[in-house]
Amino acid sequence: MEACSSNHPGLKTNIMTKKGVLYGMGNPLLDMTAVVDEAYLQKYDLQPNNAILAEDKHRPIYDELLNENYKVSYSPGGATQNTIRVAQWYLREPESTSFVGCIGSDPPEFIIKDDKTGQDTFGDKLKSCMKKEDIRTNYLVDPNAPTGVCAVLITGGNRSLVTRLDAANEYKQSHLTSPGTWSLVTDASFYYIAGYFLTVSPDSMVEIGEHAVKENKCFSMNLSAPFLSQFFKDPMKKVLPYCDIVFGNEDEARAFAKDFELNTTDLAEIAKKVAAMPKKNSKRSRIVIFTQGAEPTVVFKDNKAKEYPVLPIASEKIIDTNGAGDAFVGGFLAEYVQDKDIETCVNNGMHAAHMIIQVSGCTLPERQ
């Protein structure tokens, strides 16, 4: 792949990072990606480019993908898990990152048969992938629910994400504070949790936020999806004050501005207003970063907004944009944890997104 053989600094550095310097916590999902037509989206009342939690009416989608004539490809997913995998890929040093979440006990139809790797349940597949990629994990395993899945429905350049959280929804704060997980938390100096986790365990996010404030460590979150500021406004309000960095895309930023009555649709203005919202740790001023697809990324830092153009790409090279935002954050954080300047971090984020949109799902190339 062209992007991967370039002279990008992130590909050459072989730095020694502290073990587990970056900690992520979120919904471990297995992505089931299929190309569908617009009629299929209409049948289930889905928008071409959105992320939602499955309602009862969406349940048949998973059976259809599992049983019918769709060519489904499976890949590890879950927004935070994607970001951590991308960050680890850049950092190289084994176990620079950790990830925590809840997987399940899978029924027989949740077994992926692969000619090369044999049989794996969805949950085992996630575990083995993380192990192979040198990421420290401590999954809670729920005995009563299957591993969460995300149907990734591709139409042209768009992706509609329909998530069935199942076991991912059963994450418990008591698991976070248990010694096996808390040692991962205390090892880290940077935290990243996608806003999606607000639907699962906002108290766990606050627990980590409190630790970060106490130790002056960096806590970051993503707005993740427009439905969160609308339907999970209270947990969002609770967690935002802990955020030293807020990430999001243009749709999420505008939905947030509407739901939090910021009275503007201008991205730089929204970023400025989000940066000025209440903050617990006064030793760090908040950075706000909004990506907007092919348009320039807006960064608000040190009282000013700056735009960074994305790496150009021919449209025929784009396979699917699923995971592009997660990859951006992973690339960004891989440099940020090394104390690099903001420009270097943003450029590495761009590089990561550029790489991921040229493959299906959040799939990382083998490293030499």
The DSSP bridge pattern shows strands 118-121 and 158-164 to be: unpaired
Please provide residue 331's backbone torsions phi and psi, each rounded to the nearest 5 degrees.
-65, -40
The DSSP bridge pattern shows strands 29-35 and 102-104 to be: unpaired
The residue within the footprint of ligand 26A, chosen from 220, 322, 347, 348 (CB under 6 A), is 322
- Which of the residues 106, 187, 326, 339 is marked catalytic? 326
Q: How far is the CB of 223 from ligand 26A (least distance, A)?
A: 12
Termini Cα distance of the chain = 14
The residue within the footprint of ligand 26A, chosen from 120, 142, 166, 326 (CB under 6 A), is 326
Comparing CB distances to ligand 26A, the nearer of 213 and 350 is 350
Residue 162-191 contact track with ligand 26A, rule CB under 6 A, x = bound: -x-x--------------------------
| Cα 300 to Cα 273: distance, rounded to the nearest angstrom | 10
How many residues touch ligand 26A (CB under 6 A)?
22
Q: How far is the CB of 306 from ligand 26A (least distance, A)?
A: 25
Q: How far is the CB of 303 from ligand 26A (least distance, A)?
A: 30
Write the burial class of residue 132 (CB in 10 Å: 0-12 exposed, 13-18 middle, 19+ buried): exposed
Within 8 A by CB and 6+ apart from 25, the residues are: 80, 99, 100, 101, 171, 176, 191, 193, 197, 204, 205, 208
* 82 is an interface residue for ligand 26A by CB under 6 A: yes
* 323 is an interface residue for ligand 26A by CB under 6 A: yes
Sites for ligand 26A among residues 135-154 (CB under 6 A): 150
Residue 364, token pair as written in the block: 């990382």
* 29 is an interface residue for ligand 26A by CB under 6 A: yes
Comparing CB distances to ligand 26A, the nearer of 17 and 121 is 121
